[in-house]
Amino acid sequence: MLDQHLAENIRPGVVIPDPHLRLRRRGQGAAIAVVFVWINLAIANWFATGATLTLSFGDTPAQRLTVSIAWGIYALALLGIGVARDSVGLRWISLAFLLITIGKVFLYDLGALTDLYRVASLVGLAVSLILVSLLYQRFVFRASRGEGS
């Protein structure tokens, strides 16, 4: 009955919004958050000592580094999926995760290092930021300009 009503009253060129779009987007956002939490719990479990899991992030430099690398890989994976699916939302979420990761590395992880380790880490961070900026320029921002013209 609803389909018949819509078929009779639809004018050409009118776009009907998807009623399940908001629910689908919330589900996708929840899935992204669940995977992020799972990654962090897996890393905490890997570095846990004893039979119980304790949530003490950043006890060792190796754990801090592992968390940062995992966050960066997750952000780049979201970027790849966003580019492949042509999803602007996923590309922005990946950028947010990447900025959070960069902030964590710069403000938290580098504070625990000394001397040459800090210098080497800053050089590595600078090189990775240049590579990520080239990636975003090539795949994200160029695609956005192409959609607007």
pLDDT tens track of the chain, all 149 residues?
556 655 666 666 656 666 676 777 788 888 999 999 999 989 888 887 777 767 766 567 778 888 888 998 999 899 889 888 888 888 889 889 988 998 888 888 777 777 787 888 888 888 888 888 887 787 666 655 555 44
Composition of the chain by helix, strand, coil, percent to 5: 80, 0, 20
Residues 82/91, Cβ–Cβ less than 8 Å? yes
According to the model, what pLDDT value does residue 32 have?
Answer: 92
* Structure tokens that stand for 5 in this block: 């009503």
69 CB neighbour count, 10 Å cutoff:
13
- Own/partner pairs for 25-30, CB < 8 Å, 24+ apart? 25/89
According to the model, what pLDDT value does residue 5 have?
Answer: 59
Residue 71's nearest CA partner among 48, 40, 44 is: 40
103 CB neighbour count, 10 Å cutoff:
10
CA dist 85 and 62 (Å) reads 34
CA dist 55 and 48 (Å) reads 8
Residues 41/68, Cβ–Cβ less than 8 Å? no
Which residues, 6 or more positions from 101, have their beta carbon under 8 angstroms from its beta carbon?
Answer: 68, 71, 72, 75
CA dist 118 and 110 (Å) reads 6
